Homo-oligomer: A and B are copies of this chain.
Amino acid sequence: MAVRIGIFGYGNLGKGVELAVQKSPDLELVGIFTRRDPAAVTTLSGAPVYAEEALERMTEDIDVLVLGGGSATDLPGQTPAYASLYNVVDSFDTHANIPSHFAAVDAAASAAGKLGLISCGWDPGMFSLARVYASSILPGSEAYTFWGRGVSQGHSDAIRRIKGVLDARQYTVPVPEAMEAVRAGKNPELTTREKHTRECYVVAEEGADLDRIREEIVTMPNYFSDYDTTVHFISMEELKAQHSGLPHGGSVLYSGSTGADGAHKHVIEYRLDLDSNPEFTGSVLTAFARAVARMRAEGRTGCITVLDVPPAYLSPLSGEELRAHML
């Protein structure tokens, strides 16, 4: 019997989940839930659209509810709230607040006999898995994460808030020399500036002071001041034509050694090269939604993360099939 999936929140991530569920014959999309007027929402798949309130009465129709909201304001309230009604999966990615978010979801889900999986996606998510596997295999190894080349939504938004900016797109770019030094097992010590550069494509208002905008960007604390940042002013047409995608990716690298005096070096790399950040993230959430349904069916309740999921549970294949063909 198909696992019945609901999606709450129909932005880029929700659409990514929708596309992934469509490609999974063992999953069934029950509906999209939105805070907008359902009549104003048209879905890619033709799935029915419901108002958020419908979630109160559809608990018998959905096995796993995937939350497509954002970490800043949506998920801190939504995930614990809906974990008391549904098995849930979210992509909460505010690293510093993961422990408190975990505790809130665990309390709600445990009390309701539901299972919630938080902080799913690729970072946190697949990159977290890469870190735990590699650090467990090679204790004492050096860890590196490089992001990009990819669009950072947070940095793009920060540029858009500058006076005189109409639109902007910011790419995080790993420094090739730094990555190659890590891949070669040199265990370099790298500053923030040595690991990534930032490329900004900015559409300015007509007559705006471009030098002032550029200066405000490159000196912006937290976002840009610790990086070598380049700013390109382009037209709105060029932005739409050349920079409308949301590519991303990166590498988790662990460099360690074994043997007498650490004579033998080992480098482990997990690398993603993604044309669409939200569609890939949605694909990850969908695979873990399958696992959540299985783990709940086996009696698991409370809150878990990707680190708690036996990998075989992500696959539609049986244990026998996996052992015969994938091992």
Question: Which residues on the B side are within 8 Å of A267 (C-beta)?
Answer: 271-274
Bound Cα distance A137, B270 (Å): 15
In the complex, whether A28 has a CB less than 8 A from a CB of chain B is no
Known A137-B280, A258-B279, A306-B327; further 18 A-B contacts with Cβ < 8 A: A23-B140, A98-B324, A132-B322, A133-B311, A135-B315, A136-B287, A136-B315, A137-B283, A264-B274, A264-B276, A265-B275, A266-B276, A266-B280, A269-B272, A307-B311, A307-B322, A307-B327, A309-B311
In the bound complex, do residue B279 and residue A272 qualify as a contact, i.e. CB atoms below 8 Å apart? Answer: no
Question: Which residues on the B side are within 8 Å of A235 (C-beta)?
Answer: none
Bound Cα distance A305, B95 (Å): 31
State the number of copies, please. Answer: 2
In the bound complex, do residue B139 and residue A23 qualify as a contact, i.e. CB atoms below 8 Å apart? Answer: yes
In the complex, whether A198 has a CB less than 8 A from a CB of chain B is no
In the bound complex, do residue B20 and residue A258 qualify as a contact, i.e. CB atoms below 8 Å apart? Answer: yes
Give me the interface of A with B, judged by CB distance under 8 Å. 16, 19-20, 23-24, 44, 95, 98-99, 102, 119, 124, 126, 128-133, 135-140, 183, 185, 245, 257-260, 263-276, 279-280, 282-284, 287, 290, 305-312, 314-316, 319-320, 322-324, 326-327
In the bound complex, do residue A279 and residue B259 qualify as a contact, i.e. CB atoms below 8 Å apart? Answer: yes
Q: What is the CB-to-nearest-CB distance from A307 to chain B, in angstroms, rounded to a whole number?
A: 4
In the bound complex, do residue A275 and residue B284 qualify as a contact, i.e. CB atoms below 8 Å apart? Answer: no
Bound Cα distance A279, B284 (Å): 32
Can you show 9 pairs from A to B with CB atoms below 8 A apart?
A99-B323, A126-B133, A128-B326, A136-B290, A136-B316, A137-B284, A264-B280, A267-B274, A308-B312
Interface centre among A20, A119, A276 (most CB of B within 10 A): A276
Question: Of B98, B315, B316, which one neighbours A323 at CB under 8 angstroms?
Answer: B98
Q: Would you list the 3 A-B pairs with minimal beta carbon distance, nearest first?
A: A264-B275, A136-B314, A264-B276
Given contacts A119-B327, A271-B271, A283-B137, contact A320 B264 (CB under 8 A): no
Q: What is the CB-to-nearest-CB distance from A2 to chain B, in angstroms, rounded to a whole number?
A: 15
In the bound complex, do residue A319 and residue B315 qualify as a contact, i.e. CB atoms below 8 Å apart? Answer: no
Question: Which residues on the B side are within 8 Å of A124 (C-beta)?
Answer: 327
Question: Which residues on the B side are within 8 Å of A287 (C-beta)?
Answer: 136-137
